Amino acid sequence: QVQLVESGGGLVQPGGSLRLSCAASGTIFSINAMRWYRQAPGNERELVAAITSGRNTNYADSVKGRFTISRDNAKKTVYLQMNNLKPEDTAIYYCNVNLWERFGASVQNYWGQGTQVTVSS
């Protein structure tokens, strides 16, 4: 049993910054990929950023150069540093994690509860 708890969302002015956190807890043997998605009203969920166990990263073109995904394996936490925020970044942000609960087990996928990010003046 694994839970992902997100935090760090809120209201920020355009050009401002926020850092989202997503902490995994429970029975975890190893965490593979960690990702951030977002979904705005009327839009499909989109992948914002991803980071592998080797810390290779990928970003959506819309956030490249502004957002940075990182991970702290000791804390089992993935972060999304969001700088120079724009109104179009407004969405609910969800973390998503691929992990193994036990050695030799099949990979499991978990979602966070979502955290609201609102960028408005």
**Tens-digit pLDDT profile for residues 59-106:** 999 999 999 999 999 999 999 999 999 999 999 999 999 999 999 999
- For residue 116, name the pLDDT band (cuts at 50, 70, 90): very high
Q: Give 98: exposed, middle or buried? Use CB within 10 Å, 0-12, 13-18, 19+.
A: middle
pLDDT category of residue 13 using cuts at 50, 70 and 90:
very high
Integer-rounded Cα radius of gyration of the chain: 14
pLDDT band, very low/low/confident/very high, at 7 (cuts 50, 70, 90): very high
Give pLDDT tens digits for 69-80: 999 999 999 999
Averaged pLDDT for residues 38-60: 97
